Structure 1
Amino acid sequence: MRIVLVDLTSCHSHWKLVRRMLARRPKRRHQRVAPVSVTGLQSAEDRFLAVALDRVLAEGFRSPHDFVRHFSPAKIGRALATSPKLRSVVLGVVAGYTEAKAERQTVEQTGAILDEAFAEGDATPEMLLQLLTPADWVRHLDPAALWHFVVEHRDWRRQPRDTVPKRRTVSAMLGAAVQEGLLSPADTFSRIGPARLALWLPPALLAKLIEVALERGTRGQTVDADTLARAIPLPALARAVPPSELLDSVLIPLLHARMVDPRARRESGADLGLDQPPHRRPVRPSTRPPSPPSGAHHASSAEWRRGWEASSTEASTAVD
């Protein structure tokens, strides 16, 4: 087998080669193995947004055509105005422009060239999204608009079945939010509440919670969200709780204000009011705590109920 190396920076015909290679790539959902690169993104909100954008595109919940409908060629042209290098790459692939010619194009001309290339079939939305990374889009497009693009599509957020790709996407978003310090595991438990946790947790994890509650009860301690977070690892919680619930009760309410306005540093999303996008109203947790395990002595039983009632009140207040 002979391998031919081509210096893509030294020949004008390399753009046609790149276009043919991109056009021949199979149109399938890309299951990314390595985490998306967030190099160069300064804020925690931007790094989280790059992960979220990568996952919804990679899993097929949002398509390249959705992206181009949301961000028109004119918007993309304006976004690339501050990056001549990226503009040269895009115009070189979609229109065959040399680097020097691409750099001479104005913002309006760049948008018009992209629009014409899409209309004539010389370029496709898939081709455009293969050229730039999620970090590139976060760096150059409006973060608030990108956040709405990620969460606004009701079909993938409210589909009747919580599929494996959906669970994988939401788990990645939740993990990135915790890793970047945008929310804590205790925030997640507090928003969901103990009553709903009791419905979804497998018996082994539920038994672990009961054991922790009884142990704390014997020491005169209460059970709060921090206790639950220490008892159950976040990945286990993400596997147990439906991803739709994690989206609508945790991620969107707690992060929306910070994603729309990165300067906002709110610890809770309960007071978002009209700034919060419309989404499914969570089911109010039951105010009746689970019965304590049989054989528990009176003090432990009372402490058990007080702990669960305190957590239920906190979750109910957050839902309101």
Structure 2
Amino acid sequence: MSQGSNFVDYVKICCRSGHGGSGSAHLHRDKHTAMGGPDGGDGGRGGHVIVKGNAQLWTLLHLKFRKHVIAGDGESGGSSQKSGKTGRDEILEVPLGTIAKNSETGETLFEITQDGETRILTEAGRGGLGNWHFKTSTFQTPRFAQPGEDGKEEWNVLELKLLADVGLVGFPNAGKSTLLSVVSAAKPEIADYAFTTLVPNLGIVAYRNGRSFVMADIPGIIEGASQGKGLGFRFLRHIERNSVLLFMVPADTNRTIKEEYNILLKELQEYNPELIHKPRVLAITKSDMLDDELLQEMKKEVPQDVPSIFISSVAQKGINELKDLLWTEINKEQ
């Protein structure tokens, strides 16, 4: 099984929160009191469906087959003003960078960004009030109580944006998967045709002195991705959370390096203008096929407004220098 096949970044779940328990209409009785006043307790609230951030999770795979999530109902109130028990909450643990949306309206409800952060996805019904709440000076023995509120049933979507330090941006065949396989322990499927990478691959890149950073190979951008052409639109959102974007242009491109770089930039800008403000590094890949003369010529074509480096993943050329460059950019004060 490829590493990518376990990567799940989208799940749709039917969430049902618990009904609130009904309040009690009990009247106080004991061996000394035949007809006491109202002492019915409140019903317990139902169980919420809650989403909780977990920094140890990378994917939504564990929720893929959970189509229905049902929280517990609250219990009814009792005598002596005893409140009913609260219904059991259902807690869905998710990776950081998970967005919750309402499936029908598409509205974004919230985003989980912190470890241990909890948000209510589907709110439970409140418990009903017991009859002692309704006692007044002129109405001493109310024999009624409030019913509990119904819970809700709704379809929600959980979507994951990757929390990577470096996002690889380039057309298919730019050498992104090859670079990832060289600098990290990730084993992406590598082949020379468009959209080899159908799911993002994550790699932990070991750096000097035991430090590391996370690199994500995002499926190849194609022209028109920002309009949803191909698979582009769904994958572009993974780039939103990266702190540095590594643009990759192959040395054997049939455009100039500057042209290809500008096309990639334009795709990102159309998808989300904010991405343009992220730090960028440009790597010209497959440069082992260039002789010195050609290399000097191509260096003149490289855009001047972005740090750039010529690399070859296969020949291991410029890889350490690239890591240094990325580490510097990641740790710059934003």
- TM tier, shorter chain? under 0.3
Higher relative contact order (CA 8 A, sep 6+): 1
Structure-2-length-normalised TM-score: 0.24
Higher Rg of the two aligned structures: 2
Structure-1-length-normalised TM-score: 0.25
